[in-house]
Amino acid sequence: MRARILVTRPKPGASATARRLKEAGFEPVLLPLTEIRQLPLPTGQRLERPDAMVVSSANAIRLAPPELLAAQAGRPCLAVGAETAKAAVEAGFNAVTSADGDADALTRIVLKLTPPGARILYLTGRVRRAALEERLATAGRTVETVEIYDTLPIAYSANGLDRLLAGRTDAVLLHSARAAELLARLPGAGRRFESAIFLGLS
Protein backbone atom coordinates (compact mmCIF):
# COMPACT_ATOMS: atom_id res chain seq x y z
CA MET A 1 0.00 0.00 0.00
CA ARG A 2 1.46 3.33 -1.06
CA ALA A 3 1.93 6.03 1.57
CA ARG A 4 -0.42 9.01 1.14
CA ILE A 5 1.46 12.32 1.28
CA LEU A 6 -0.38 15.61 1.75
CA VAL A 7 1.07 18.46 -0.34
CA THR A 8 0.18 21.86 1.11
CA ARG A 9 2.24 24.25 -1.02
CA PRO A 10 0.52 26.56 -3.53
CA LYS A 11 0.26 25.86 -7.24
CA PRO A 12 2.11 25.50 -9.55
CA GLY A 13 4.71 24.15 -7.14
CA ALA A 14 2.17 21.74 -5.62
CA SER A 15 1.70 19.98 -8.95
CA ALA A 16 5.44 19.62 -9.47
CA THR A 17 5.90 18.17 -5.98
CA ALA A 18 2.99 15.77 -6.53
CA ARG A 19 4.54 14.57 -9.77
CA ARG A 20 7.87 13.83 -8.08
CA LEU A 21 6.14 12.02 -5.22
CA LYS A 22 4.18 9.86 -7.65
CA GLU A 23 7.35 9.00 -9.57
CA ALA A 24 8.92 7.94 -6.25
CA GLY A 25 6.05 5.55 -5.51
CA PHE A 26 3.92 7.66 -3.14
CA GLU A 27 0.29 8.71 -3.45
CA PRO A 28 0.17 12.53 -3.37
CA VAL A 29 -2.90 14.38 -2.11
CA LEU A 30 -3.11 18.05 -3.05
CA LEU A 31 -4.38 20.48 -0.42
CA PRO A 32 -2.87 23.91 -1.22
CA LEU A 33 -3.26 26.13 1.83
CA THR A 34 -2.38 29.34 0.00
CA GLU A 35 -2.55 30.82 -3.47
CA ILE A 36 -0.06 33.13 -5.16
CA ARG A 37 -1.23 36.45 -6.63
CA GLN A 38 0.98 38.68 -8.74
CA LEU A 39 1.38 42.24 -7.49
CA PRO A 40 1.79 45.27 -9.76
CA LEU A 41 4.99 47.23 -9.39
CA PRO A 42 4.37 50.47 -7.51
CA THR A 43 3.74 53.37 -9.88
CA GLY A 44 6.85 55.43 -10.34
CA GLN A 45 9.17 52.96 -8.62
CA ARG A 46 12.66 53.58 -9.91
CA LEU A 47 14.98 50.59 -9.83
CA GLU A 48 18.61 51.60 -9.40
CA ARG A 49 21.36 49.58 -11.05
CA PRO A 50 22.20 46.98 -8.37
CA ASP A 51 25.40 45.05 -7.87
CA ALA A 52 23.43 41.82 -7.41
CA MET A 53 19.88 40.54 -7.42
CA VAL A 54 18.57 38.41 -4.56
CA VAL A 55 15.52 36.18 -5.03
CA SER A 56 13.57 34.55 -2.19
CA SER A 57 11.48 32.08 -4.22
CA ALA A 58 10.88 30.74 -7.69
CA ASN A 59 7.54 32.60 -7.70
CA ALA A 60 9.43 35.89 -7.57
CA ILE A 61 11.11 34.95 -10.85
CA ARG A 62 8.04 33.46 -12.53
CA LEU A 63 5.83 36.45 -11.73
CA ALA A 64 8.31 39.30 -12.12
CA PRO A 65 7.71 41.59 -15.12
CA PRO A 66 9.84 40.38 -18.05
CA GLU A 67 11.31 43.84 -18.54
CA LEU A 68 12.54 43.88 -14.94
CA LEU A 69 14.29 40.53 -15.36
CA ALA A 70 15.73 41.51 -18.73
CA ALA A 71 17.23 44.66 -17.20
CA GLN A 72 18.99 42.62 -14.49
CA ALA A 73 19.93 39.46 -16.42
CA GLY A 74 23.61 40.40 -16.69
CA ARG A 75 24.05 40.74 -12.94
CA PRO A 76 24.78 38.06 -10.35
CA CYS A 77 21.60 36.37 -9.09
CA LEU A 78 21.64 34.92 -5.59
CA ALA A 79 18.78 32.46 -5.12
CA VAL A 80 17.35 30.93 -1.96
CA GLY A 81 17.57 27.34 -3.26
CA ALA A 82 17.91 25.00 -6.22
CA GLU A 83 14.36 25.45 -7.55
CA THR A 84 14.68 29.23 -7.51
CA ALA A 85 18.12 29.04 -9.10
CA LYS A 86 16.70 26.87 -11.90
CA ALA A 87 13.93 29.41 -12.53
CA ALA A 88 16.54 32.18 -12.71
CA VAL A 89 18.62 30.28 -15.26
CA GLU A 90 15.49 29.64 -17.34
CA ALA A 91 14.73 33.37 -17.17
CA GLY A 92 18.11 34.17 -18.75
CA PHE A 93 20.47 34.70 -15.81
CA ASN A 94 23.95 33.27 -16.33
CA ALA A 95 25.66 33.97 -12.99
CA VAL A 96 23.35 32.21 -10.52
CA THR A 97 24.34 31.05 -7.04
CA SER A 98 22.04 28.87 -4.93
CA ALA A 99 21.80 28.95 -1.12
CA ASP A 100 20.68 25.98 0.98
CA GLY A 101 16.93 26.63 0.88
CA ASP A 102 16.05 29.12 3.60
CA ALA A 103 16.35 32.83 4.39
CA ASP A 104 19.27 32.39 6.81
CA ALA A 105 21.30 30.48 4.22
CA LEU A 106 20.45 33.10 1.60
CA THR A 107 21.62 35.88 3.92
CA ARG A 108 24.95 34.13 4.46
CA ILE A 109 25.47 33.72 0.70
CA VAL A 110 24.71 37.39 0.04
CA LEU A 111 27.13 38.55 2.75
CA LYS A 112 29.82 36.19 1.45
CA LEU A 113 29.53 37.23 -2.19
CA THR A 114 28.91 40.99 -1.92
CA PRO A 115 31.10 43.63 -0.27
CA PRO A 116 29.94 46.27 2.21
CA GLY A 117 28.33 49.13 0.30
CA ALA A 118 26.88 46.83 -2.38
CA ARG A 119 23.43 47.64 -3.75
CA ILE A 120 21.06 44.68 -3.64
CA LEU A 121 17.80 44.32 -5.58
CA TYR A 122 15.63 41.94 -3.58
CA LEU A 123 12.70 40.25 -5.36
CA THR A 124 10.35 38.65 -2.86
CA GLY A 125 6.78 38.14 -1.69
CA ARG A 126 4.68 40.39 0.50
CA VAL A 127 4.48 37.69 3.19
CA ARG A 128 8.03 37.16 4.46
CA ARG A 129 10.38 37.44 7.39
CA ALA A 130 12.21 40.76 7.61
CA ALA A 131 15.41 39.16 8.91
CA LEU A 132 17.21 39.08 5.55
CA GLU A 133 16.68 42.77 4.82
CA GLU A 134 17.56 43.78 8.38
CA ARG A 135 20.76 41.72 8.50
CA LEU A 136 21.93 42.96 5.10
CA ALA A 137 21.28 46.57 6.04
CA THR A 138 23.14 46.10 9.34
CA ALA A 139 26.07 44.65 7.39
CA GLY A 140 26.26 47.75 5.19
CA ARG A 141 24.35 46.62 2.09
CA THR A 142 21.74 48.87 0.51
CA VAL A 143 18.63 46.79 -0.13
CA GLU A 144 15.88 47.78 -2.54
CA THR A 145 12.96 45.43 -1.93
CA VAL A 146 10.42 44.76 -4.67
CA GLU A 147 7.34 42.77 -3.68
CA ILE A 148 6.44 40.64 -6.70
CA TYR A 149 3.58 38.53 -5.31
CA ASP A 150 1.26 38.05 -2.38
CA THR A 151 0.39 34.79 -0.61
CA LEU A 152 -3.27 34.50 0.33
CA PRO A 153 -4.88 31.76 2.46
CA ILE A 154 -7.40 29.36 0.91
CA ALA A 155 -10.50 28.64 2.99
CA TYR A 156 -11.77 25.06 3.28
CA SER A 157 -15.03 23.98 4.86
CA ALA A 158 -15.28 20.88 7.04
CA ASN A 159 -17.32 19.13 4.32
CA GLY A 160 -14.81 20.08 1.67
CA LEU A 161 -11.98 18.66 3.75
CA ASP A 162 -13.94 15.46 4.31
CA ARG A 163 -14.07 14.97 0.54
CA LEU A 164 -10.47 15.93 -0.13
CA LEU A 165 -8.98 13.97 2.76
CA ALA A 166 -11.06 10.80 2.62
CA GLY A 167 -8.81 8.03 3.86
CA ARG A 168 -5.64 8.19 5.90
CA THR A 169 -2.85 10.77 5.72
CA ASP A 170 0.58 9.28 6.32
CA ALA A 171 2.69 12.44 6.01
CA VAL A 172 2.22 16.17 5.54
CA LEU A 173 4.70 18.36 3.65
CA LEU A 174 5.02 21.89 5.05
CA HIS A 175 7.05 24.36 2.99
CA SER A 176 6.76 27.33 5.35
CA ALA A 177 5.85 28.36 8.88
CA ARG A 178 2.74 30.03 7.46
CA ALA A 179 1.61 26.72 5.97
CA ALA A 180 1.99 25.08 9.40
CA GLU A 181 -0.11 27.82 11.00
CA LEU A 182 -2.86 27.51 8.37
CA LEU A 183 -2.89 23.72 8.62
CA ALA A 184 -3.41 23.92 12.39
CA ARG A 185 -6.43 26.19 11.83
CA LEU A 186 -8.25 23.80 9.49
CA PRO A 187 -11.56 22.44 10.83
CA GLY A 188 -10.82 19.22 12.73
CA ALA A 189 -7.06 19.45 12.11
CA GLY A 190 -6.20 17.53 15.27
CA ARG A 191 -8.17 14.41 14.40
CA ARG A 192 -7.44 14.58 10.67
CA PHE A 193 -3.67 14.47 11.06
CA GLU A 194 -3.18 12.81 14.46
CA SER A 195 -1.25 9.86 12.99
CA ALA A 196 0.63 11.78 10.29
CA ILE A 197 4.32 12.56 10.15
CA PHE A 198 5.05 16.26 9.55
CA LEU A 199 7.97 17.15 7.30
CA GLY A 200 9.03 20.83 7.43
CA LEU A 201 11.22 22.62 4.92
CA SER A 202 13.07 24.43 7.71
pLDDT tens-place string over residues 124-155: 999 888 889 999 999 999 999 999 999 999 99
pLDDT mean over 96-115: 91
**Residue 159 — very low, low, confident or very high, per pLDDT cuts 50/70/90?**
very high
Q: How high is the mean pLDDT of the chain?
A: 91
pLDDT at 47: 61
pLDDT tens-place string over residues 76-86: 999 999 989 99
pLDDT mean over 156-185: 92
Q: Is the separation of the CB atoms in 131 and 147 below 8 Å?
A: no
C-alpha dihedral sign at 168, 185, 175, 87: positive
pLDDT at 44: 60
Report the SS3 class of residue 83: helix
pLDDT mean over 36-58: 83
